[in-house]
Structure 1
Amino acid sequence: MVAGLALCVLPIWLVVTLAYWLSGSHMSLATGADNLMIALAAVATVAAAMTARTNRGRVRIAWVTTSIGLGSFTLGAVLWLFYRLFQVEHPYPSIADIAYLVLPIAVAIALLLLSSGFSRASRTRLVVDALVVAGSFTIVGWITVLDEVGKAAPDDRLKVAISASYPVLDAAVLTIGVLVVMRAQGGQRRTLALMTSAMLAIAISDGAFVYLTATQQPTADALLYLGWLGGLGLFVAAAVTGRGFAHRDVVVAQPVSWTSVWLPFVPLLLASAAVYTESPEEIRAGPIPVIGIVLLLAFSARQLLVMSENRTLLATVAEQALRDPLTGVGNRIVFRDRLNHAMQMRQREGLSVGVLVMDLDDFKVVNDTLGHPVGDELLSLVADRIVASVRAGDTVARLGGDEFAVLIEGRVDNSQLIAHRVVEAFDEPFIVDGQDLLIRPSVGLAVAEQDEPDLLAEDLLKRADIAMYSAKRSRSGGVHLFNSEMLLVETPDSDLFASGPMPASRTGAGTIRLLGELRQAIDHLELTLVYQPKFDLNTGSIVGVEALVRWPHPRRGLLSPDEFLPLVRRYGLMGSITDLVVNQALDDVVRWNADSLEVPTAVNLFAPSMADLRLPGKFATALADRDLSPSQLTVEITEDLFLDNMDRTKTVLDQLRQNGIRIAIDDFGSGYSALSYMRDLTVDEIKLDRHFIAPIPADRRAAAVVRAVLNLAGELGLTTVAEGIETATTADWLRQHGCNIGQGYYFSPPLTADKLRDVLIRCRESGARETLACPVRRGSSHWSDADVPQIELMP
């Protein structure tokens, strides 16, 4: 609409000019300048309207406002030319002046809309600064020039008001323009500077026009038009550059410029100096007292805004001093301060204090492969998840790098509950830069015990740190609760550990890709199970099977546990793997039972999983849903890891055994605390690790150690199972020394569920009809998958 109005002005201008020319009059130089100004103003109006069409939001509104101002200026120029051509007497003030004065108001609004980096208070102060400058220049202008207008036309208040409006509005818009340009960002400054320069040029001509009018001099001088023409040309340039204007509707922290500090004060000082040159009678005769009161109110409001902004700034700086600038959570300073306060309250009121320290596993891989910006965004998302997992009164802080800490106050069980909630928050992948990243934390927890009243805050934090390093070493996931045994293990200096060299395919981006594939395989139940039979070494009967997980990878083929379980431990997928294995194994048991093949099945659990108080209920539900007896399930605890909470583990094991589920310690002899587990945990059997068994035939010392363990297990009433039996000699030695059960490739390799079913049926049909005992056939050693399991028994 505005562009159409501007385009309509051109034909009108041509018609008026042509009519004047046909009347026989001759154009003056000023009249030609009027014609040129009309044409250039129309072009500027159209350019601003076209720029408005190419933008959106506030930028579009700003350019629409500018086009309205320029269109009004064009209309004023046409009216002024009409007055000049038809020799209208006393054309000043007129409707043309009102049209002219719309432009500075429109440009001031446009500059405020285009400004970036200002808060609401800053924009308000910007307007108040403009009023202060405008009021100051009004006083100076009145004393130097405008009082002549008042004296020349004492009864024509409209003329005085119009004459004062030009410099006042121009001074206000120039003040806004200068301050906005000083705060402009990249991609903004050129357009804003052109608009401000355009108004400066127009303001110069406006001031000259008011001066000539006040001193009753001719205003038809063509030189007067240079400022107006130059300003309109600059508006055209601003409109062209404004098509790529990059607006940022955010508050940008910038140092305060000296211009914004002294700009309101300099005009105010000039106004004060000008007032001192006048007599009291002259001051009272004009509008200076009223303007002075308005100026005083505006300046007072400005100072109040400055004080408010300073208070807000100081509060922000104080807050930022206690906040991590990247994630927004607390920093190390605030965490230590609140931890010290919590420990003091603990001594006074006896409340429990827990400290959780966590570190992101393999975060360096993300930085090295995807870049530091992705790593920074990931840290922010991690902080958000931690905050969402804790209570409102808990303190979350980033200690540095990818290490976070949580201060938990209240009951002891609150600390462990919140710690497990934090770990569970990492079950879902993070979406960063369009990619799903599954990142797992190593979490250490230390709780100040009641029998340690003199424990210091630094010591509690150090304990949590040690527990976190223990979690990193084990790569087992879960929450590692500090215990005194951890002090016996030296804490490494590095904050990134590995359980051994990883294959090249599992480093860098390959690790992230493989993690995503593993996660998808778990979610889509693509992992499979095979079962290795367990034989009674005295009778040759199959007395159970052990479920072993395999991953049929679409490109790499069938992967054994050694090839992907390190990733499961490292990235905390144990819970998902456990659910998959237990449910799939029990489904296979149901199918075997349908063929009257009742065979106990063992599933492996990582030791830290045994601290999950929900585990007994989950197993009981899985058995009940399938109408299975608990005696058909054995839980084997992988013993090569620390149990992170012995008290909770005992509770879980007791509940499992009360439900009728057997408990076995797997890989006995490979871990840290084998004998203490036999002493402290109520279990049903121990499984001797294959590396414990293999040296028996050739190493007398190894045989003596195994014999001692078998004797000790017998004294404790525990069933013994030997893993990895490869030869008849080993099997016979174990039988003679009291080992109950054996498994290994000497008897049978792991079999699929269907192959195992066939083997069990053949065993039943070829031997005792009521049992699963296989007849012993002499003269065999190693067998293939298709063979019926055999054992060579010595007399």
Structure 2
Amino acid sequence: MTARARNATIVAATLVLGVFASWLALGWGGPALVTKVGEVASVAASAFAACCAVAAVHATRGRQRMGWICLSVGMFGWVTSDLLWSYFTHFAADAPPSPGVVDLGYLLLPASACLAALLVPFGGLRSTLRIVLDGALVATALFAIAWTTFLRELFAVTNVSGLELAVSVAYPVGDVAMVTFALVIVAQSPPGLRMCPALLAAGATLLAIFDSAYVFTATYGDAPSNVIVIGWLTGLYIIGVGALMVRRLPATLLRATPRAVFWVPYVPVPFALFLGARELFAGESVPILIAGIVLIFVALARQFVLLDENRRLLAAVADMALRDPLTDLANRALFNDRLAHAIELRGRTGAPVGVLVTDLDDFKLVNDSLGHPVGDELLRSVGERIQSAIRTGDTVARLGGDEFAILVEDAPAIVEQIADRLVQAFEEPFTVDGRSVDVRLSIGLATAVGDAEVSAEELFKRADLAMYSAKRAHAGSRSFTPDMRQDATELNLPSQQDRTGGCGGVARIEFLGDLRRAIDEHELDLVYQPKVSLRTLKAVGVEALIRWPHPEFGLLEPADFLSLARENGLMEALTDFVLDRALEDAAGWRKAGVDMPVAINLSAPSLNDEALPGTVLSALAKHGLPPAILTVEITEDVLVSSVARARSVLDELRSSGVRVAIDDFGSGYAAMTYLHEFPVDELKLDRQFIGPIVHDERAASIVLSVVNLANEFGLTCVAEGVEDRATAELLRTYGCEFAQGHYFSKAVTAEAIRHCCAPTDATLSSAEATRPSWA
């Protein structure tokens, strides 16, 4: 049921309850009509609660669903009894038998509610038997209190039979047990999930109170008063609303039990013992004697159950201290313990020991694009697939994040075979949340064989270094070699790929720290790639490109550090920096008389952020710029977790006046999908298609087709990577309007844009046309 339908149902039920309650309270139409209205209202309220319970059945699953099925049965029992009561009252010759089938239907509710409470999947190691004993303890104590205060004298005066006594007592006892179980469930519920059980407990409490009042009046032969009927109606209404507010419960493995759960069931016991003892000293009372025996037995049994729960809790905590809660694999502590034991055993027997350390490639992109719940589901699937590729006696552990380790106590050949099986196992994509996700492992191997001594820490470090080497080389798996240690500890990073964060050890940590500091202290910079009209050679806009003037490695381009930023959750901060700096520069150009539109690139997390349009518009307002001056570019290979959400974000940006472009069109897998799904204004053709069009007919045909497609869609077409005059001339003949590339200008500073030369009126068809100079 949708939230709108649920709210409408609650409002309608509230209005109907208000009408019935007012009618009964004010006595409209006389006693006879009021009695009939009360019967109709009771049937309507119980039917409402029963239908809401059925709706809760459809909204839940597992043990929670079974609980709601039980409660639904109890509610329909109440509806049946209401109908039977009306039938016997108005259509049958005789009064309804008491006790009889009508009582059976009403008593079915507390019985089914208690059973439903036992099926609720709360409490972790909580024993179902303990919940039963809690209910029995409270119900027996309250019965003893009620018997000594008024029930004994009441039944002595009315001289009821044993069966009638049992049925009459069953009402309050059953209701008390139902309320007790409901309160226990409320106490066990985690914050944020207490609304539904709290409403059920409130409704059950009202039914218990007015059931007891009914038993008292019925004993003297009186019909239920209008106040009692209104109490029943309100209790049933609240139960129905509680059913509508149900939320699917998480599969909680272990959760602390609230302290109140332990002592609250004992609250009525001292009063029951005091009143019961006074009753026994005053004379013989069989019900009190039986209640006392039951209390003692239940209290002792509950203590034994609590002791057993504590024992199992300690065992579970000890096990969980060595288990990863997400994948149920061994954690780092257990892995280190077993590795240390294997190394110690190797010192005595010489048995070989192998360690494999694995890491998922680009897992950060999955988390950022599809969300952490999908990432968690993927990690569970990864753990299962790793387990399926190893032997029974090997240890698999999740060390944290997307890093796993495997301990193999066997020869190096076996370790290499396991690595090969793992690589093959990850050839098949994973299916998570209905999507096909293709991920690969980088695996590092290290073995301890022969007479050489090696510590557990050293063996693991070797496997870790081999894993980073495999990740840098995209090699799948690699075995440790001594030169990997030198590469990892070398502070002067030797290659561009190392600067992206592919190195291990100290260098990677220091480089990441430098990047965080550069972002926080605004040490990054922007340069701008002009976008030029192929007809006029005038600059019609610029694209902002981030640069990092690193104090040790010089000027770093995005390829040198963006992957590291993506892996460590820094893309949002980078996007915010680029947006603010680009608009600041654009505002400076406008003050200098240069009205130059600017484009920025969006990352996947930004595209999935519904707050992005507000952030963009706030930044534009801050710098006093109109939305039309900004273009946001989405790269074609961005992985979007929700197409609907991304479309909504882009729609809102476009409706405010911000332009949307698809960057690197043709480089990924989603070209036509993005054109179909997303509102865009501009296509930027990837440089891999533009470069060969002069001498490659197939590439030329592809570019011509895309240009025609863009024109058909009414989109602006921009060619990237134009490096020579011939390419520019050919693109102009194809109908492409704009281009970027080194033929026109390299990326330049904001100051160069401000002080650029006056635009030339030459065109490419003129013999005197020359490349404009921006630098």
Q: Check whether TM > 0.5.
A: yes
Distance 1:355 1:75, change over 3 A: same
Q: 1:76–1:100: 8 Å Cα contact kept in structure 2?
A: no
Partner of 2:480: 482
Q: 1:30–1:220: 8 Å Cα contact kept in structure 2?
A: no
Deviation at 1:153, TM superposition (A): 5.7
- Can you list the C-alpha shifts for 1:478-508, whole angstroms capped at 9, x where unaligned? 3x2223333333436999418997869x977
- Can you list the C-alpha shifts for 1:712-736, whole angstroms capped at 9, x where unaligned? xxxxxxxxxxxxxxxxxxxxxxxxx
Tell me the SS of whatever aligns to 2:274. helix
Distance 1:33 1:194, change over 3 A: farther
Distance 1:120 1:440, change over 3 A: closer
Deviates more, 1:192-201 or 1:244-253: 244-253
- Can you list the C-alpha shifts for 1:202-241, whole angstroms capped at 9, x where unaligned? 3223323444567x6x74583xx42342222331343255
Partner of 1:47: 48
Note if 1:182 corresponds to 2:187.
Answer: yes
Q: 1:43–1:236: 8 Å Cα contact kept in structure 2?
A: no
Distance 1:371 1:442, change over 3 A: same
Distance 1:464 1:145, change over 3 A: same
Distance 1:463 1:403, change over 3 A: same
**What TM-score does the superposition give when structure 1 sets the normalisation length?**
0.54
For the residues of structure 2 that align with 1:37 and 1:293, how far apart are their CA atoms? 42
Write the letter of the residue equivalent to 1:41.
Answer: S
Note if 1:71 corresponds to 2:79.
Answer: yes
Distance 1:331 1:202, change over 3 A: closer
**What TM-score does the superposition give when structure 2 sets the normalisation length?**
0.55
Write the letter of the residue equivalent to 1:345.
Answer: L
- Can you list the C-alpha shifts for 1:630-657, whole angstroms capped at 9, x where unaligned? xxxxxxxxxxxxxxxxxxxxxxxxxxxx
Give 1:140-219 correspondences, 5 Å limit: 140-152=145-157, 156-184=161-189, 189-211=194-216, 219=222
Partner of 2:466: 467
Partner of 1:313: 313
Write the letter of the residue equivalent to 1:466.
Answer: L
For the residues of structure 2 that align with 1:236 and 1:554, how far apart are their CA atoms? 67
Tell me the SS of whatever aligns to 1:431. strand
For the residues of structure 2 that align with 1:99 and 1:155, how far apart are their CA atoms? 21
- Can you list the C-alpha shifts for 1:278-335, whole angstroms capped at 9, x where unaligned? 23462x4322222333333333333333333333322222222112223322221111
Note if 1:233 corresponds to 2:238.
Answer: no
For the residues of structure 2 that align with 1:199 and 1:483, how far apart are their CA atoms? 70
Q: 1:428–1:438: 8 Å Cα contact kept in structure 2?
A: yes
Partner of 2:299: 299
Tell me the SS of whatever aligns to 1:410. coil
Give 5+ residue unaligned stretches, structure 1.
1-25, 521-552, 560-795
For the residues of structure 2 that align with 1:164 and 1:156, how far apart are their CA atoms? 12
Match for residue 130 of structure 1 among 129, 132, 135: 135
Tell me the SS of whatever aligns to 2:384. helix
Partner of 2:289: 289
For the residues of structure 2 that align with 1:100 and 1:135, how far apart are their CA atoms? 20
Partner of 1:58: 66
Distance 1:165 1:482, change over 3 A: same
Distance 1:268 1:40, change over 3 A: same
Give 1:405-484 correspondences, 5 Å limit: 405-452=405-452, 454-478=453-477, 480-484=478-482
For the residues of structure 2 that align with 1:344 and 1:289, how far apart are their CA atoms? 65
Distance 1:212 1:69, change over 3 A: same
Tell me the SS of whatever aligns to 2:451. coil
- Can you list the C-alpha shifts for 1:556-596, whole angstroms capped at 9, x where unaligned? 4999xxxxxxxxxxxxxxxxxxxxxxxxxxxxxxxxxxxxx
Q: 1:200–1:231: 8 Å Cα contact kept in structure 2?
A: no
Larger Rg: 1
- Can you list the C-alpha shifts for 1:691-720, whole angstroms capped at 9, x where unaligned? xxxxxxxxxxxxxxxxxxxxxxxxxxxxxx
- What root-mean-square deviation, in Å, do the aligned CA atoms of Structure 1 and Structure 2 show? 4.3
For the residues of structure 1 that align with 2:445 and 2:244, how far apart are their CA atoms? 57
Q: 2:358–2:441: 8 Å Cα contact kept in structure 1?
A: yes
Tell me the SS of whatever aligns to 1:489. helix
For the residues of structure 1 that align with 2:201 and 2:298, how far apart are their CA atoms? 23
State the percentage of identical aligned residues. 35
Distance 1:31 1:447, change over 3 A: same
Give 1:355-754 correspondences, 5 Å limit: 355-452=355-452, 454-478=453-477, 480-491=478-489, 496-497=501-502, 556=689
For the residues of structure 2 that align with 1:94 and 1:503, how far apart are their CA atoms? 82
Q: 2:182–2:201: 8 Å Cα contact kept in structure 1?
A: yes
Q: 1:355–1:461: 8 Å Cα contact kept in structure 2?
A: yes
Distance 1:79 1:426, change over 3 A: closer
Deviation at 1:443, TM superposition (A): 2.0
Write the letter of the residue equivalent to 1:481.
Answer: S
Distance 1:248 1:71, change over 3 A: same
For the residues of structure 2 that align with 1:332 and 1:197, how far apart are their CA atoms? 46
Tell me the SS of whatever aligns to 1:131. helix
Deviates more, 1:125-134 or 1:296-305: 296-305
Tell me the SS of whatever aligns to 2:267. helix
Partner of 1:37: 38
Q: 1:52–1:63: 8 Å Cα contact kept in structure 2?
A: yes
Write the letter of the residue equivalent to 1:140.
Answer: I
Give 5+ residue unaligned stretches, structure 2.
1-26, 59-64, 492-497, 505-555, 564-602, 604-634, 640-663, 671-685, 693-775
Q: 2:330–2:395: 8 Å Cα contact kept in structure 1?
A: yes
Q: 1:105–1:173: 8 Å Cα contact kept in structure 2?
A: yes
Tell me the SS of whatever aligns to 1:160. helix
Write the letter of the residue equivalent to 1:379.
Answer: L
For the residues of structure 2 that align with 1:102 and 1:377, how far apart are their CA atoms? 41
Distance 1:492 1:234, change over 3 A: farther
Partner of 1:607: none
Write the letter of the residue equivalent to 1:319.
Answer: D
Distance 1:280 1:239, change over 3 A: same
For the residues of structure 2 that align with 1:408 and 1:144, how far apart are their CA atoms? 72
Deviation at 1:461, TM superposition (A): 1.4
Distance 1:474 1:68, change over 3 A: closer
Deviates more, 1:362-371 or 1:401-410: 362-371
- Can you list the C-alpha shifts for 1:450-502, whole angstroms capped at 9, x where unaligned? 221x3211121122222223323433333x22233333334369994189978
Deviation at 1:437, TM superposition (A): 3.4
Write the letter of the residue equivalent to 1:61.
Answer: I
Matched positions, count: 492
For the residues of structure 2 that align with 1:79 and 1:367, how far apart are their CA atoms? 62
